[in-house]
Chains A and B, each alone.
Chain A
């Protein structure tokens, strides 16, 4: 993997936490942006679409679950990892049902988080590559199906 190939967006209303996490992930060769609430995150997506979003749940204004729902509708390619200090098992189930890639609780180990981000990116890449391979082989229906399945799963 080339340096800073994976684009990440950290979304958390705790400014100190979001900024520090951003710095640490950047030191691990990820290209990281930061948003401090759900509305800001959705605005940032219009400028640049990240590969992976690290998303808090309890934020002022839009709740993280609402953000996840919006992303699934408008940006199905983005992988979302929930990182919350307040997550219940019910939240974890709901996030999975909505197509979240993973659900982590604060404080999380940075190496573990980095590993999850890379895996999420890998999975996204594999899906895209498979769809492209089918499309190149002229099997457009299958390629579409993969994309569609991806949307439906989420």
Chain B
């Protein structure tokens, strides 16, 4: 049973990575397309102008747009790199805020597509948590994905992080209208979600649509 659970969890992790990569590549393709069109526009302007009466402010505006896209590309690559390294160790001390900042950045496009706002309410200087960072991200992603799929557009999902006593709490709440047809199964079946949470020695409770994940600070 334990072995089957591990196998299933590994499969779910692969699916999770696939989803993150699909969103990432789409976003990067868009940034590259903007850079390509911006560079092309400058080329068009130079050809049209033949260097006779250039308009520096127009060129500068395009250059700024290119720089902005390069910055966005760089930020996203940085997040993806950190995300990839979460799998280096099965057990490590990590900052929950950073790991969720990263997850938010990588799933932002999905939220935008669904016209859902992701809000963060993170307590500053949260103690490090000891556990499997990759599984932690998978668990939180599964809750977010389920909410994003079941909520109608213009909804808001808020993730709150706070230390309470000897534990860290991650609370996921939402404002908005539920879709008439609940067309999604949980990405992770409930028993597998519990299996994953057990690996983090965490617990979950749900009340009035608010999901509370509690993770113990002591090992």
Q: Which of A16-24, A66-74, A146-154 contacts B (4 or more CB under 8 A)?
A: A16-24
Q: How far is the CA of A89 from the CA of B30 in the complex (A)?
A: 19
B164 to chain A, nearest CB (A): 36
> Does A85 contact B115, Cβ atoms closer than 8 Å?
no
> Does B32 contact A107, Cβ atoms closer than 8 Å?
yes
The yes or no answer to B167 lying at the interface (CB within 8 A) is no
Q: Which residues of B contact A27 (CB under 8 A)?
A: 44, 48
> Does B34 contact A24, Cβ atoms closer than 8 Å?
no
Q: Which of B35-43, B85-93, B175-183 contacts A (4 or more CB under 8 A)?
A: B35-43
- Chain B interface SS verdict (over half): helix
Q: How far is the CA of A24 from the CA of B47 in the complex (A)?
A: 12
Q: Which of A16, A23, A60, A106 meets B29, CB within 8 Å?
A: A106
> Does B29 contact A86, Cβ atoms closer than 8 Å?
yes
Q: Which of A21, A58, A60, A85 meets B37, CB within 8 Å?
A: A21
The yes or no answer to B65 lying at the interface (CB within 8 A) is yes
Q: How far is the CA of A44 from the CA of B32 in the complex (A)?
A: 28
With A27-B44, A27-B48 as known contacts, state yes or no: A17 contacts B34, CB within 8 Å: yes
> Does A23 contact B26, Cβ atoms closer than 8 Å?
no
> Does B41 contact A107, Cβ atoms closer than 8 Å?
no
Q: Which residues of B contact A110 (CB under 8 A)?
A: 37, 40
The yes or no answer to A61 lying at the interface (CB within 8 A) is yes
A-B CB pair tally, cutoff 8 Å: 55
The yes or no answer to B112 lying at the interface (CB within 8 A) is yes
Q: How far is the CA of A17 from the CA of B30 in the complex (A)?
A: 8
**Interface positions of B from 50 to 86, Cβ below 8 Å from A:** 62, 65, 68-69
A90 to chain B, nearest CB (A): 14
Q: Which residues of B contact A17 (CB under 8 A)?
A: 30, 33-34, 37
Name the residue of chain A whose CB is nearest to the CB of B45: A27
> Does A24 contact B30, Cβ atoms closer than 8 Å?
no
B202 to chain A, nearest CB (A): 33
> Does A61 contact B30, Cβ atoms closer than 8 Å?
no
> Does A24 contact B44, Cβ atoms closer than 8 Å?
yes
Q: How far is the CA of A27 from the CA of B65 in the complex (A)?
A: 19
> Does B30 contact A14, Cβ atoms closer than 8 Å?
yes
Q: Which of B26, B40, B65, B115 meets A61, CB within 8 Å?
A: B115
The yes or no answer to A92 lying at the interface (CB within 8 A) is no
> Does A107 contact B33, Cβ atoms closer than 8 Å?
yes
* Chain A interface extent, by class: 10 to 19
> Does B41 contact A106, Cβ atoms closer than 8 Å?
no
> Does B33 contact A58, Cβ atoms closer than 8 Å?
no
The yes or no answer to A59 lying at the interface (CB within 8 A) is yes
The yes or no answer to B185 lying at the interface (CB within 8 A) is no
Q: How far is the CA of A139 from the CA of B20 in the complex (A)?
A: 58
> Does B69 contact A16, Cβ atoms closer than 8 Å?
yes
Q: How far is the CA of A107 from the CA of B41 in the complex (A)?
A: 14
> Does A60 contact B65, Cβ atoms closer than 8 Å?
no
> Does B115 contact A16, Cβ atoms closer than 8 Å?
no
Q: Which of A14, A20, A108 meets B41, CB within 8 Å?
A: A20
> Does B30 contact A60, Cβ atoms closer than 8 Å?
no
Name the residue of chain B whose CB is nearest to the CB of A86: B26
Q: How far is the CA of A45 from the CA of B163 in the complex (A)?
A: 53
The yes or no answer to B207 lying at the interface (CB within 8 A) is no
Q: What 1/0 flags go to A83-95 for Cβ under 8 Å of B?
A: 0011000000000
| Residues of chain B having any CB pair with chain A under 8 Å | 26, 29-30, 32-34, 36-38, 40-41, 44, 48, 62, 65, 68-69, 112-115, 153
| Residues of chain A having any CB pair with chain B under 8 Å | 14, 16-17, 20-21, 23-24, 27, 58-61, 85-86, 106-108, 110
